[in-house]
A and B are shown apart, each in its own frame.
Chain A
Amino acid sequence: MSPLQFAWRSLSRQPARAWLGLTGMAVVGALLFDMLLLSRGLLVSFRDLLESTGFDIRVTATEALPGMGPALSDAASTAERLRGLPELADVVPVRFGSVALDDGDADGGGLRGAKRRGLAIVASEPRRRAEWKVVQGSDLAERGPGGRPEIVVNRAFAREEKVEPGSLVRLGSAPPAREFRVAGIVEFPFEAAGERMAGVTLAGFLDAFPAARRDEADLLLVASRPAVGAEAAVAAIRRARPDLHTFSIEDVLERLRQAEFSYFRQVSVVLATIASFFALLLVTTLLTVSVNQRLGEVAALRALGFSRRRITADLVAESALLVGGGGIVAVPLGLALARALDSILRRMPDLPQRLHFFVFEPRALALHAGFLVLAALLAAAYPVLLAARLPIAATLRKESVS
């Protein structure tokens, strides 16, 4: 009979103890697993978001986040210069702005005016490589039919303003408003739930913001050549324009890792530590109580010639069954719990809709398994010590007297 079979029998002998251990481990294991998902979830999710744009490098004028600091001047020539670098596949200048929307309804203007809502505008050069994904209609053309500037809008905007491809939208940061033709409905990678967003061409941006300075960009989106890789491309840009701030996706993530996202890692480490502590306490207690209940049996087995190693193996196997069984159930349980917690956290305003706090990675599963192995060994440590150090003769004597 192998230690595992033996342990299985020992557990089935006290089903209540087995269920208590398994349930406890499943619940605590689910929490542990969730903390693993949380500790890197934002990073993984954010990387996905950044990568889904198709650009792996960002260039700004200063260290500030794009759109928050001063813009790049001479955007067109800078972009042109960078396009000349052999390491780069593409360079797209981007501008950000936001307008209050003019609904264009002359009669109800005053009334509806009170309900006006903002619209975030992203301007880019769509004929290169769009930052957004077209879901209906078509992408921007430089000039639409009749020389009208074109606009693409996201679903939230289209729904609220009841526009569709072909509709006209009046935009203007200051009167007179310009009319834009809706070319298509698109999805922006970073759009928050309910956030109204629109994309226009760089020329269209100036139509919407006549006061904006020409030839500026808040951000240059850069795609490295796949064969070269982001790092070499970043180095090339830094060499060409040391005055600019160039950073790869990894650089962005590193910054977030050290600042904003580190809270989640810290919280998850603290919670995971507490959860592990209770898991260990539970399994150690269950095993210790059961060893104490069968000290006579253990002493008898030792007298019959069962080695310390065998007794140890039996207890470790029992611990492994409790921790492993609970730990396996913990995975689906943890995934369900993570989904629920994620949906709660994602109710925070202004979060990109596609950003998640709990993200599954195979790595988390491997770590979870590693944790379980460690927990099973640690939980067995004390009862093993108790059983292996048991004085055989004295125990047999005590047990037959009692």
Chain B
Amino acid sequence: MSARAAIVEARGLAKVYPMPAGPVEALREVSLTVEPGDYVAISGPSGCGKSTLLHLLGCVDTPTSGSLLFEGRPVLALREEERSRIRLRRIGFVFQRFYLLPMLTAWENVELVQSEAGLPAAERRARTRELLTYVGLADRAGHRPSQLSGGEMQRVAIARALANRPGLVLADEPTGELDEETGEQIADLFDRVNADGTALVVVTHNLALAGRARRRLAMRSGRLAEPAAVAAT
């Protein structure tokens, strides 16, 4: 156990979707702790509950039962506004489909979450410049998503996820829409993000990407298993 508080501590999480044809148990008895600086990859067949787990860890959804602490705070006891504030300041999301706002430039997409968090303009400008340089897109700052390639869009999305200096970045199939080589670039970027101290939880089918993680978890029918703890290099 680390001396520092865990970022996320999930104990016995279950998520049941009541459906007309009978309840769907998307998660059963999932326990997972993500420490600061962790790099976790979750793989498993389609429908096994990976996205469901990621959404619970990201305070986007609530479990049917179990307990969930985010940086020591019981997520279930929080109001939606408080969970929203945690997502804004402490969590970064990277989606398979990027979800950049198409009418905003790369710069504006990265800046928007900072202004939502109430950062002063000068600070936002410096941070945005720093982040776009970090993901190698400083020269594309004024471009809209439609003028960027898939890999470039995902890099902007990663810059956006990092904008408010979160402790945890969650990514759901971040290379799902990208070719192998571009996926490789994204994996490199994630390595750097993690090396710089941000904890990562990545859901992916991409073996090369999963191979980069320090902990690789396999999921099956809503249960989590740790096939092989991959030691950090």
Q: Which residues of A contact B (CB under 8 A)?
A: 1, 9-10, 12-13, 296-297, 300-308, 310, 392-393, 396-397, 399-400
Contact = CB atoms under 8 A, between A and B. Distances in A.
Centre residue among A10, A13, A305, A393 by max chain B CB count within 10 A: A305
B9 interface: no
A308 B87 contact: no
Given A300-B93, A300-B99, A400-B173, A305 B55 contact: no
Contacts of B188: none
A1 B117 contact: no
Contacts of B87: 303-305
A307 B81 contact: yes
B91 interface: yes
Contact of A12 (B101, B103, B113, B160): B103
Contact of B51 (A13, A307, A396): A396
Nearest to B80: A308
Contacts of B117: 305
B142 interface: no
A303 B60 contact: yes
A395 to B, nearest CB: 10
A310 B99 CA distance: 17
Contact of B103 (A9, A305, A310, A399): A9
Given A297-B101, A393-B60, A400-B95, A307 B52 contact: no
Query: Which 10 residue pairs of A and B lie closest in terms of their CB atoms, listed nearest first?
Result: A305-B88, A300-B99, A305-B87, A13-B103, A393-B61, A393-B55, A9-B103, A392-B60, A303-B93, A307-B84
Given A9-B103, A12-B103, A303-B58, A296 B97 contact: yes
B112 interface: yes
Given A304-B160, A393-B55, A1 B97 contact: no
B84 A306 contact: yes
A400 B97 contact: yes
B152 interface: no
B25 to A, nearest CB: 16
Nearest to B90: A305
Given A9-B103, A300-B95, A307-B116, 14 more contacts: A1-B104, A1-B111, A9-B104, A12-B103, A303-B60, A303-B87, A305-B84, A305-B85, A305-B87, A305-B89, A307-B84, A393-B52, A396-B55, A400-B172
B12 interface: no
A10 B103 contact: yes
25 contacts: A1-B104, A1-B111, A1-B112, A12-B103, A13-B103, A296-B97, A297-B101, A300-B93, A300-B95, A301-B99, A302-B60, A303-B87, A304-B87, A305-B85, A305-B87, A305-B88, A305-B91, A305-B113, A305-B117, A306-B84, A393-B51, A393-B61, A396-B60, A400-B173, A400-B176
